[in-house]
A and B are shown apart, each in its own frame.
Chain A
Amino acid sequence: MRLDTTQRQWLMISVAILAVSLGVYVPYALTAPKGPTGGSFLGLLFGIAGFAFMLFAAALGARKRVPTWRIGRAQTWMRGHLWLGFLALPLILFHGGFHFGGTLTRILMWLLIITVASGVFGAALQNYLPGMMTKDVPLETIYGEIAHVRRLLREEADHAMESLCGPLGFTYKSEDAGQRAGGFTAMRALTATTVALRTSAAVSAGASVATAVAAAPEIILLNDEQSAPLRRFYCSELRPYLEQPNRRGSRLRDAGRARNSFTAVRTLIPPSAHPTVADLEDICDEARQLSLQERMHHWLHGWLLVHIPLSLALILLGAVHAVMALRY
């Protein structure tokens, strides 16, 4: 969710709530004989309000699980989660008079601080990263399909190489053998091997992968001597990179260095093979973008691994604290 001018109303409401809370807290803290404590009337009031905000923020998870619930707009829930969840922190600090207390309360305070901080961090990331992703990853795909698309790219590259240099001895799983990564030159004449191209119509009709592909002929353009530099480059650099794009040490991870590598390869092979090299470079570039997308996705959603579990623990222990605090 972007923090833009459409959130001004929520911002104003939040600032107003914070200002009122501060206006109540400061005189209370200055005049309370025992100092501000969670057990005083105002302390309890702050605690109840803070916990209510936390519960509301946590309810977003339930709301997302059942999107068909017609309880307010998803956008309103998200904004409420963002702003009221953030307000929970100052209210709980006012509740405890900025004391972290004993074991349970200290754990609760740190859980709250980390939860709110991770939420703020996540909100900031979600404000900037989608824009960056659109700009830097034009070939973005669905995150869950990245591994699958990456495999298709690898196979596409293998086929491109085999079309130039002859069989390289790569094997594929049967279900993947017929798919291409989506950008290959399906019009190019091919021989020797059958390259599968799955059509969306076939997939829609429920055809199996094996039957949903169309055969395409391939030809071999280069002899062994001509193709040796390309084969060497492909087997030692490009294919390992396509297999493990996140492995450190590969120069193909860097766009500039990759461009130089491909330029160098072009000088070593006949011009007739250059279009295929261009395809390989394109595949490499797409694989690199997918890696970048993967990293951005991890940043974009990784904070949730902290935010959600801690918030659940916070709610749970907060409820225990509420009951036991009433006792003592």
Chain B
Amino acid sequence: MARTRTTKKLAQRIDLNYFKRPTRWKRAKLWISLLLPAIALIWIGWHFATRDSRVYSSGRLSEPHAVFEAQCAACHVQQAGSFSAGAANSACLACHDGPIHHAEQTKMPNCAECHVEHRGKINLSAASNQSCASCHSDLRANGGSAHYASDIRSFEDGHPQFALLKEGARDPGTIKLNHSLHMKAIRRAPGGPNVQLNCSDCHRSVATWDKTPWAYQDAKYVTAKVSYGYAESYQAMGSSGLTPRAPSSGRELMMPVRFATSCASCHLLTFDKRFDEGVPHDKPEVIHTFLMKKLSDYIAAHPSELHEMQDPARDLTGKPLPPRMRTLTAPQWVQEKVAVAEELLSHKTCAQCHQMTQQALPDTGIARWAPNAPKYMTNSGKQMHLPDPAVLKLVPIPGVAPANTTLRWLPHSKFDHAAHTGFTCTSCHEKARSSTESSDILIPGIATCKTCHAPGPNHAESRCFECHTYHDWSQRKEVKPSFILPALKRGGD
């Protein structure tokens, strides 16, 4: 007979008090439930007993502050009678002087509002866009309106076009340069071969200035001392830009182009067929002195040239003219030749690149012995004829307008050419290919930057700190050291 199961039989085999006996699983559950919280309690109690507050940290400190991992009280200062011990500005300022952003700023944020610690190995100076936008999204200034765009939330939201590229903006520099012409194959010198210039033949950073030879330099000009200085060459930097904290690597910005290294090989400064060398690339006064000395020395060595025959020997209709002879004194000869050379230089050679002032110079009538040579205004305001040496002495020396070259185009931001070294120059400065006017500003616009600098993956950093700095580190004050290194390594709060 097969086995039969009835409810009664099945019930009979069950001990009715089974629930009073805990099973192995229930016992295990109970013990583990007691043991694990107990371990947790012992662990946290041990940290509390040893006054080790690191365990309560909300995250690892940034690398520069890692030494304070065991020294919470270095930043978390407990106020008297208060349970709270938040990070205090005074603790930050004990080591870092954080110069203010602008004297007119209406809000002075706490250090920790922008520099968020306990986020691991992050760049602590990389403040969030929101930190900047907390003021710049609705910018106000003490004592008047802000000078800047007042509704900027991020680079991609509200950031205006760079101010220097606004409608009608022109390069304030006075050096005349046709970029388009120089970007194509160009004749090197009168009668010389065509050459194709590279951008780096003229534009280099401080750090790369002498790394490779200059293809179009003239050694004489490179080694020559010049008398013109910063004021005659460069535009004042202005005081509105904030000085970044990091020292310059010398690769950030391009140096202004120098005649000696980039132009001299093609743009010769010759002034007289008697001499191969050119005048110095210097102030007109220096050139004048140079010419006087050069021609004085020459005529002293060649006195026969004081007797001159006019050339050409034909008039304008081609009719032969009787030879005209004249004999000059050495000073007369020098004065006249200097005048002719300066006329050449100021009207042609210098004027090709520079804006010349005081253009009332003798024209070629001097060299043609013209009897009715035009009168010229002297410095004393007297109208006189040339080539009277007495007059020549008084002719004003031509002036050259200051180059006014802009050294830093974006004074409110920092830009690093070295970080963009993988790109060709014209991929950003694309207008350089077509620009014919030196007044064209060839700095790329914000749209070019946004090609790469944008939020999200596959893009470069676009947060505010990438280009801007908050603290004006030129206002930095030194702080008094307060930490002793061995003590820092010990824990405790």
Closest partner residue, chain B, to A103 (CB atom): B55
User: Cβ of A199 < 8 Å from any Cβ of B?
Assistant: yes
* Inter-chain contact A102/B36, CB cutoff 8 Å: no
Q: How far is the CA of A147 from the CA of B44 in the complex (A)?
A: 41
- Given A31-B130, A33-B131: A99 touches B119 (CB 8 Å cut-off): yes
User: Cβ of B483 < 8 Å from any Cβ of A?
Assistant: no
Which B residues from 37 to 85 make CB contacts under 8 A with A?
37, 39-41, 44, 53-60, 72, 76, 83-85
* Inter-chain contact A324/B116, CB cutoff 8 Å: no
Of B8-16, B162-170, B201-209, B222-230, which binds chain A?
B8-16
Q: Which residues of A contact B44 (CB under 8 A)?
A: 104, 317, 320
Of A14-22, A126-134, A258-266, A305-313, which binds chain B?
A305-313
User: Cβ of A187 < 8 Å from any Cβ of B?
Assistant: yes
Which residue of the partner chain, among B35, B57, B118, B134, contacts A309 with CB atoms under 8 Å? B35
Which residue of the partner chain, among B12, B36, B119, contacts A182 with CB atoms under 8 Å? B12
Q: How far is the CA of A301 from the CA of B18 in the complex (A)?
A: 18
User: Cβ of A66 < 8 Å from any Cβ of B?
Assistant: no
Which residue of the partner chain, among B5, B23, B55, B114, contacts A144 with CB atoms under 8 Å? B23
User: Cβ of A248 < 8 Å from any Cβ of B?
Assistant: no
Cβ distance B278 to chain A, nearest Cβ, rounded Å: 61
- Given A183-B3, A328-B58, A328-B76: A301 touches B25 (CB 8 Å cut-off): yes
User: Cβ of B128 < 8 Å from any Cβ of A?
Assistant: yes
Cβ distance B485 to chain A, nearest Cβ, rounded Å: 24
Of B26-34, B423-431, B435-443, which binds chain A?
B26-34
User: Cβ of B487 < 8 Å from any Cβ of A?
Assistant: no
Closest partner residue, chain A, to B25 (CB atom): A301
- Interface 1/0 per residue, A138-172 and B, CB below 8 Å: 01011111001100100000000000000000000
Q: How far is the CA of A320 from the CA of B40 in the complex (A)?
A: 11
Q: Which residues of B contact A179 (CB under 8 A)?
A: 12-13
Q: How far is the CA of A301 from the CA of B44 in the complex (A)?
A: 30
Q: How far is the CA of A30 from the CA of B60 in the complex (A)?
A: 23
User: Cβ of A316 < 8 Å from any Cβ of B?
Assistant: yes
Q: How far is the CA of A141 from the CA of B10 in the complex (A)?
A: 9
User: Cβ of B4 < 8 Å from any Cβ of A?
Assistant: yes
- Interface 1/0 per residue, A196-226 and B, CB below 8 Å: 0011100100000000000000000000000
Q: Which residues of B contact A240 (CB under 8 A)?
A: none
User: Cβ of A101 < 8 Å from any Cβ of B?
Assistant: yes
Q: Which residues of A contact B118 (CB under 8 A)?
A: 101-102
Q: Which residues of A contact B29 (CB under 8 A)?
A: 304-305, 308-309
User: Cβ of A52 < 8 Å from any Cβ of B?
Assistant: no
Instruction: Specify the main secondary structure of chain B where it touches its partner.
Output: helix
- Interface 1/0 per residue, B180-194 and A, CB below 8 Å: 000000000000000
Q: How far is the CA of A250 from the CA of B279 in the complex (A)?
A: 110
* Inter-chain contact B116/A312, CB cutoff 8 Å: no
* Inter-chain contact A316/B56, CB cutoff 8 Å: no
Q: How far is the CA of A326 from the CA of B84 in the complex (A)?
A: 6
User: Cβ of A74 < 8 Å from any Cβ of B?
Assistant: no
* Inter-chain contact B84/A99, CB cutoff 8 Å: no
Q: How far is the CA of A141 from the CA of B5 in the complex (A)?
A: 13
Closest partner residue, chain A, to B21 (CB atom): A144
Count chain A residues whose beta carbon lies closer than 8 angstroms to a beta carbon of B. Answer: 63
* Inter-chain contact B3/A282, CB cutoff 8 Å: yes
Q: Which residues of B contact A56 (CB under 8 A)?
A: none
* Inter-chain contact A327/B83, CB cutoff 8 Å: yes
Q: Which residues of A contact B9 (CB under 8 A)?
A: 180, 182-183
Which residue of the partner chain, among B11, B21, B86, contacts A328 with CB atoms under 8 Å? B86
* Inter-chain contact A312/B36, CB cutoff 8 Å: yes
User: Cβ of A235 < 8 Å from any Cβ of B?
Assistant: no
Cβ distance B9 to chain A, nearest Cβ, rounded Å: 4
Q: How far is the CA of A173 from the CA of B333 in the complex (A)?
A: 144
Count chain B residues whose beta carbon lies closer than 8 angstroms to a beta carbon of A. Answer: 55
- Interface 1/0 per residue, B352-384 and A, CB below 8 Å: 000000000000000000000000000000000
Q: How far is the CA of A304 from the CA of B36 in the complex (A)?
A: 13
Q: How far is the CA of A234 from the CA of B6 in the complex (A)?
A: 26
Closest partner residue, chain A, to B31 (CB atom): A309
* Inter-chain contact B40/A103, CB cutoff 8 Å: no
Q: How far is the CA of A30 from the CA of B130 in the complex (A)?
A: 8
Q: How far is the CA of A244 from the CA of B57 in the complex (A)?
A: 52
* Inter-chain contact B12/A200, CB cutoff 8 Å: yes
Which residue of the partner chain, among A35, A275, A309, A324, contacts B1 with CB atoms under 8 Å? A275
Which residue of the partner chain, among B15, B36, B56, B130, contacts A313 with CB atoms under 8 Å? B36
Q: How far is the CA of A154 from the CA of B23 in the complex (A)?
A: 21
Cβ distance B461 to chain A, nearest Cβ, rounded Å: 16
- Given A101-B118, A102-B118: A198 touches B12 (CB 8 Å cut-off): yes
Cβ distance B427 to chain A, nearest Cβ, rounded Å: 33
Q: How far is the CA of A301 from the CA of B5 in the complex (A)?
A: 28
Q: Which residues of A contact B56 (CB under 8 A)?
A: 102, 104, 321, 324-325, 327-328
* Inter-chain contact B28/A102, CB cutoff 8 Å: no
Q: Which residues of B contact A33 (CB under 8 A)?
A: 113-114, 128, 130-131, 133-134
- Given A181-B13, A182-B9, A327-B85: A145 touches B18 (CB 8 Å cut-off): yes
* Inter-chain contact A316/B23, CB cutoff 8 Å: no
Cβ distance B393 to chain A, nearest Cβ, rounded Å: 71
Which B residues from 76 to 102 make CB contacts under 8 A with A?
76, 83-86
Q: How far is the CA of A105 from the CA of B18 in the complex (A)?
A: 42
Which residue of the partner chain, among B25, B32, B60, B76, contacts A102 with CB atoms under 8 Å? B60
Which residue of the partner chain, among A34, A283, A313, contacts B113 with CB atoms under 8 Å? A34
Q: How far is the CA of A105 from the CA of B23 in the complex (A)?
A: 35
Cβ distance A55 to chain B, nearest Cβ, rounded Å: 15
User: Cβ of A185 < 8 Å from any Cβ of B?
Assistant: yes
Cβ distance B91 to chain A, nearest Cβ, rounded Å: 13
Which A residues from 52 to 75 make CB contacts under 8 A with B?
none
User: Cβ of A188 < 8 Å from any Cβ of B?
Assistant: yes
Closest 6 CB pairs of A and B: A102-B57, A309-B36, A183-B3, A182-B9, A33-B130, A324-B56
Given contacts A144-B23, A145-B14, A325-B58, 8 further A-B contacts (CB under 8 A): A34-B128, A35-B116, A38-B58, A144-B18, A184-B3, A199-B12, A312-B37, A313-B37
Can you offer 22 A-B residue contacts whose CB atoms are under 8 A? A33-B130, A34-B112, A34-B128, A34-B131, A102-B55, A102-B57, A104-B56, A105-B59, A179-B12, A182-B9, A182-B12, A198-B12, A200-B12, A275-B2, A282-B3, A305-B28, A309-B32, A324-B53, A328-B53, A328-B57, A328-B58, A328-B86
